[in-house]
Structure 1
């Protein structure tokens, strides 16, 4: 079924009238947050309208596949709001009629997270030891790997001495995805899904030229034919990992791997002398007050457990992964994931500098809008004329699929936890796309609306002819339209040094250098230019080359700090370079009703 969502939100906003920009000219923003992240989203009409449209659309389709066959919990959160800013839960018949666990999903329902665990494992490392050792080789932490000898094999094994913790965190270790799990030398769950093998083509068959001893087969790390996970103990696991063939040399190309994170987990245990369970409880669960989050299978099924058809074996609820728990073992809830997500965005448990490094792209995929980070699956979307990075992590095991989105540009995130017997993953995939398409423009509009209210206006000095005028227009960031210091027009003189036959554009972007009631911005100035021809790729976005190019007594001319009141509204502006403080004038801003399209036309939702 295809549902077409069309909505045109009409809102009246305080607006400082500006000249309409010539659409034949353009700017190229730097890669940064363009406005301060929006706060108090529940007070923003455009956000509330989007929520209503979303919920109406979901409810209208709950009787259709895949929604009618999936139990799911959606939770949105913002660092400026307590709890969740929105939640929606649906219970399918398989859970509603279950004789074990919950029969009605809510924000405290426990789902298997699967690979979202990778983010939690990295988070634990950052909490306990930071990222200063991440360029050390894995053999410093797991010396057993140093004893590997590929001369014992007739294939190339990883060079563990050159693989670092950072390589593994970035999926750049070059080691294969799993040990044991999809090995077709075993007559197990994987081979049972394939067409029946004849004696001539069966594995380990000398008559077919596959004369490999069964002693070389994985001893653990796989699902049996009865879908029981045969976990490894740490010794077995390390012995098995040493026999794996290398896929690529380290640092070459991103390669998704559960092995990376299992080894990071073992390394962290060796580094700290504590088990991951203990580290998880003392460093994450207790500080954040998490109620239903565990690093591995919970010790018992509770009234909050989501178990389709009440079958913990077939749903694979009860699988304990051993060392692979560090890659895929965790269980959690919508409420707890919101607390974890907000703590990451807020740098609650680690220094802000550590968080900034964590929220960075480390390599790219073939698709230009997809990148990889340390644990993150990063999607890049154009919103309001600039690029927004979506830091995500998805997980899948058995009947459970999940995804966590963190969007630092807006201090916003959401989680989507699902369980389904026959529709595994479909709701997660569909709703993730819908939520992104609907709410990125909404969050951008909320940020710009608040920036307009809080910072736009005319700032003047009572002692000199110094004046700055700031507007918020259709392009990213705050626009400086007037910058005069003691009768000198900086826009025409200093910044006019650019080849600016079409004019100079100056924008202010948040610099995150100040605290409390001081909000700092950095200036980005560039010459307005016509669109770059498609064939011209070199040098098409040079704005980052000239940030803070002009200074006065060592301080950038674009370095400005707003002094705000308790509501976040600017009262004064300090020009750091010329050491002047300007007052915001109380002009009567005209009210302009803006017809703002807040949702994509024809969102393919179902």
Structure 2
């Protein structure tokens, strides 16, 4: 059974003369528009995206100023689905210059790369598996008392004011590693106690804690030590015990993998040995490893993403809380989590529409010398992707071009696939077999998110009249009722439509037309349970009245 909720939204006319791309008039609470409980590979939208993707990659190689150097860049792309728990698309490219670095002679789903700062996500995930979200509220000095002692006024970090959560969400103000720590592997002087003393006695705050998000590699060096104290293990052992082993990650580790039977893109460290540029392969540093030192492949990254969205290690409530913004940035379309980089995408609600809705993509980017990685989850669509890249510009331009191309190809395709699936399987007329006066219709509208509920009668009474107020017109004149798979209800206050902000095609600085989050559940609740059999909607139960209405027609009878 799928759990739905009624959202009753003000009808807003399309303003003439506005931007050709406009937000949808319906502004519900954040979440999916349509269910994603189907095999994406059967959808026309995904098939078209897969067919088009190779030529899109070619455009990155073949432009007058190509963003990607075809001969000096190698990458592995994996797009996967939470519904089938499998890849729905893989793409590999091996640059001629880097071909000798493939230890198994092939680039595939099992090829190991360095994943750079995606390591921060693994560090946080392991820590949450050990201690739960409550650890985010603890000061780091609870676990690392060696950091305590700085007091006001001071140009040092007052660690008693810095929580574990502040560091995980890049709000600890601790900035990057000092050069000596970042390169200590070269002189074999990497020492945890020396690092902690350096962070207490030498490191200056970049910004006060919790003022805003400020990227902090050194903060994750501290979190690695917190994980060590929690587990009484080294960081590498804690990563294996509390993440890799429970998830079956056979190729994810914080030290260079052994050479026997190795499938990796292992660019030799040092300048000029293979390719003429520096490489971080095998340049391990256990101090910085929690921030950017992990090795992995797309196979293990797929297992990691699926485990998060399927709540394999964390309970569902913990996952939901973890995958939330913890700070804004100066961008209207990007927020920061712990340590998620959350991109607020504006995507068309249906294939032929210029109306858009907001959908959040939870990502983490990583970069090491000659390597980079992208990890992205879309909970709205049950579609995710990872990209591993190697080459001289892997950690600079390559990762953003490839992240954007994969995301802009497959995330809208997944939205369109959900629309396509809903249009095929959900519309119709439903009635109580014991009482024809209880009936409803469900429709799917081009350019509008969610399932339309143009009529709903219980014992002959229009249910929508239950949310009107004295003096208002009949509901059909004021409201558009829609269903979303969110589990709560949004009954509108019934006020006249208010303008959107200038950035969303309206006027002025303030948002007055997106009030779903304020009014959801304010008056009443009425959840709907939808029974889907072999992908097709067959009955709808209105849970408040305990009335079940079965499909009587594929037509939308109004």
Name the residue aligned to 1:241.
Answer: 199
Tell me how far 1:524 sits from its aligned partner.
4.9
Name the residue aligned to 2:8.
Answer: none
Q: 1:115 to 1:301 in 2, by over 3 A?
A: farther
Aligned pairs for 1:441-480 within 5 A:
441-464=412-435, 465-473=437-445, 474-480=447-453
Identify which of 82, 88, 93 aligns with 1:90: 93
Is 1:563 the equivalent of 2:510? no
Is 1:77 the equivalent of 2:45? no
In 2, Cα distance between equivalents of 1:79 and 1:571: 24
In 1, Cα distance between equivalents of 2:328 and 2:61: 37
The alignment yields a C-alpha RMSD, in angstroms, of 2.7
Cα deviations across residues 268-302 of structure 1 (Å, max 9, x unaligned)?
A: 22122222222222222222222211123324475
User: Bigger shift: 71-80 or 231-240?
Assistant: 231-240
Tell me how far 1:530 sits from its aligned partner.
6.5
Name the residue aligned to 2:321.
Answer: 357
Aligned pairs for 1:234-383 within 5 A:
234-242=192-200, 243-300=202-259, 302-308=261-267, 314-383=278-347
Name the residue aligned to 2:21.
Answer: none
Cα deviations across residues 25-83 of structure 1 (Å, max 9, x unaligned)?
A: 92322212222225311111110111110123325665764233101101111111243
> Per the alignment, in what secondary structure is the counterpart of residue 582 of structure 1?
strand
In 1, Cα distance between equivalents of 2:234 and 2:78: 31
In 2, Cα distance between equivalents of 1:329 and 1:247: 23
> Per the alignment, in what secondary structure is the counterpart of residue 175 of structure 1?
coil
* 8 Å contact kept, 1:229–1:321: no
> Per the alignment, in what secondary structure is the counterpart of residue 108 of structure 1?
coil
Aligned residues: 512
Is 1:417 the equivalent of 2:359? no
* 8 Å contact kept, 1:461–1:467: yes
Cα deviations across residues 352-403 of structure 1 (Å, max 9, x unaligned)?
A: 1111011111111111011111101111111223211111111111110111
Is 1:52 the equivalent of 2:51? yes
Is 1:222 the equivalent of 2:199? no
In 2, Cα distance between equivalents of 1:68 and 1:499: 67
Name the residue aligned to 1:510.
Answer: 485
> Per the alignment, in what secondary structure is the counterpart of residue 265 of structure 1?
helix
Cα deviations across residues 494-545 of structure 1 (Å, max 9, x unaligned)?
A: 346696695212222213xxxxxxxx56455465736444116153311222
Name the residue aligned to 1:23.
Answer: 14
> Per the alignment, in what secondary structure is the counterpart of residue 482 of structure 1?
strand
Name the residue aligned to 2:463.
Answer: 490
Name the residue aligned to 1:537.
Answer: 510
> Per the alignment, in what secondary structure is the counterpart of residue 206 of structure 2?
coil
In 2, Cα distance between equivalents of 1:423 and 1:86: 21
Identify which of 559, 583, 586 aligns with 2:550: 583
Q: 1:335 to 1:495 in 2, by over 3 A?
A: farther
Q: 1:300 to 1:32 in 2, by over 3 A?
A: same
Name the residue aligned to 1:120.
Answer: 122
Identify which of 342, 358, 372 aligns with 1:401: 372
Q: Give the TM-score of the pair, scaled to structure 1.
A: 0.79
* 8 Å contact kept, 1:231–1:321: no
Name the residue aligned to 1:109.
Answer: 111
In 1, Cα distance between equivalents of 2:85 and 2:456: 39
In 1, Cα distance between equivalents of 2:265 and 2:141: 39
Q: 1:61 to 1:387 in 2, by over 3 A?
A: closer
User: Bigger shift: 356-365 or 580-589?
Assistant: 580-589
In 1, Cα distance between equivalents of 2:337 and 2:470: 38
Q: 1:38 to 1:238 in 2, by over 3 A?
A: same
In 1, Cα distance between equivalents of 2:537 and 2:471: 30
Q: Give the TM-score of the pair, scaled to structure 2.
A: 0.85
Q: 1:108 to 1:507 in 2, by over 3 A?
A: same
> Per the alignment, in what secondary structure is the counterpart of residue 344 of structure 2?
strand
